[in-house]
Amino acid sequence: MSIVDRFLKYVSFCTTSDENTGMTPSTPGQMEFAKYLADELKTIGLSEVTLDENGYIMATLESNQSSAVSNQPVIGFIAHMDTSPDASGKHVKASIVKAEERDYIDARYAGQDVIVTDTTTLLGADDKAGIAEIVTAMEYLIQHPEIKHGKVRIGFTPDEEIGQGADHFDVTAFGADFAYTMDGGTIGELEFENFNAASAKIKVHGLNVHPGYGYHKMRNSMRIANQIILMLPRWQSPEHTQGYEGFYHLVGMNGTVEETTLSYIIRDHDRTQFEYRKRELEHLVRKVNTEFGEGTAEIDIRDQYYNMREKIEPVMHIIDLAKEAMTAVGVTPNVKPIRGGTDGARLSFEGLPCPNIFAGGENFHSRYEYLPVPSLEKAMQVILEIIKKA
C-alpha cells in the first residue's frame, strides 16, 4: 500500500479525543482504529505486536544485523492516534488537489499534490500522517532486507491531544534507548524544546434571585468570571505571542448566574515564568474572594508536561542524527521550539529521550488543515535514514 493510500485509509476513522469521558482511550473510535493498526502491523510482518486495554500499541522491527553488532541502539518511533477536539474528525472527505487550487495553501507548495478536506472537518494529519510514515517505513525495511539495521520499536498512543497520551505508556516495556515522535508540522521541523504546560479550571459561584429584587442580593457568577478574564493582560494570549513567549489561553467558558466555569491552559518555555503564571492565576482568585467573599471562586491547576530540553541536552547526538538524516534526503533541518507539546515531552522525563520530527502537515486543528504529499514522503524517508545511520 502506498503511503498516500495508507493515510487516506487512516483518516476514515473518527478518533477525536474527549477530555470529559474519564476513559482511556477517551473515545471508542480510537480503540477501533487501534485494532485496525494492530492487525496491519502483524500483516506487514512486524513482531511483538501488542494492543493493551488502554489502546496503546507497541511493535518491533527485529534487527537484521549479526549478533556481533552489539552497540547499536534500539530506536523508537512514536505517533498518536487521536485527533483534536477543536474541530470535527468525523466523516472526513479527503481529496488530492494541486496547491494552487486552494487559496489557504502556502505558496511555497506551488505545483505539489496536497491532501485537503472539504473544509467541514479537520484532516487528521496530526497525527495520522506520523502513523502512516512510521508504518510505511517499517514495511519498506521488511521488503528490503538488504538494508541493514538494528532493532526498532514503534508505539502508537491515544489521547495526546487532551494531554493524556503518555499516561499509560510503559517506557520499560517499550525498551528503546531513545525515540522520536513524528508529530511536528512543516517539512524540516526538528524540535527538542517545548512549553511547560498546565491546565486551570476556575469555578465561580454566584447567587441568583429574581432580577426585580436583585439589589445588593444577586451575585452574577458570569460577571465575576468576566472580571477575572479582564484582570489577565490581553497581550499575554496566543494571538499576541510568538517564539519563546508564554501565554494564558482561555479555551472554554460555561456559565449561568449561579455558576460559571473558566478553562485555561498555561504555557511558558521558561520554568520560572511558568511557575509565576500559575501563582498569578491563584492570586486573581484570592482577589475575587476578598471582594465577594471566601469561596466565591476556586481554582484547580494541574501540570501537564515540562520542557524536554533539559532531558535532551545530555544526549544531543540524537538531534545530530536527525539532522544528518534530513540532510541526506534533501530536507533542510529547521530546529525550533514547539509552541505546544508532544507525548515526547513527558516520555523524556520518564527516561525515554524523545525529540519531535515533522509529520508534514499544516494548519493543524483546523478545518483548513492540509498535507503536501512530498512532505509526507520526505518524513518517511527521514525515518529510514535515521534507522540506517544509527
Rounded distance between C-alpha atoms, residue 160 and residue 157, angstroms = 7
Rounded distance between C-alpha atoms, residue 17 and residue 365, angstroms = 12
Q: Which one of the listed residues 160, 191, 193, 362 is annotated catalytic?
A: 160
Active-site residue 103, yes or no?
no
Rounded distance between C-alpha atoms, residue 199 and residue 285, angstroms = 15
Active-site residue 303, yes or no?
no
Q: Which secondary-structure segment (H or E) carries 366? A: none
Rounded distance between C-alpha atoms, residue 220 and residue 134, angstroms = 52
Rounded distance between C-alpha atoms, residue 183 and residue 161, angstroms = 11
Report yes or no: 207 and 258 within 8 Å, Cβ to Cβ: yes
Q: How many CB atoms lie within 10 A of CB 162?
A: 21
Q: Which one of the listed residues 82, 189, 343, 369 is annotated catalytic?
A: 82
Q: Which secondary-structure segment (H or E) carries 387? A: helix 373-389
Q: What is the DSSP letter of 21?
A: S
Q: Which three cell numbers stand for residue 284?
A: 486573581
SS3 at position 347: helix
Report yes or no: 81 and 33 within 8 Å, Cβ to Cβ: yes
Report yes or no: 183 and 104 within 8 Å, Cβ to Cβ: no
- Which residues are designated catalytic? 82, 160
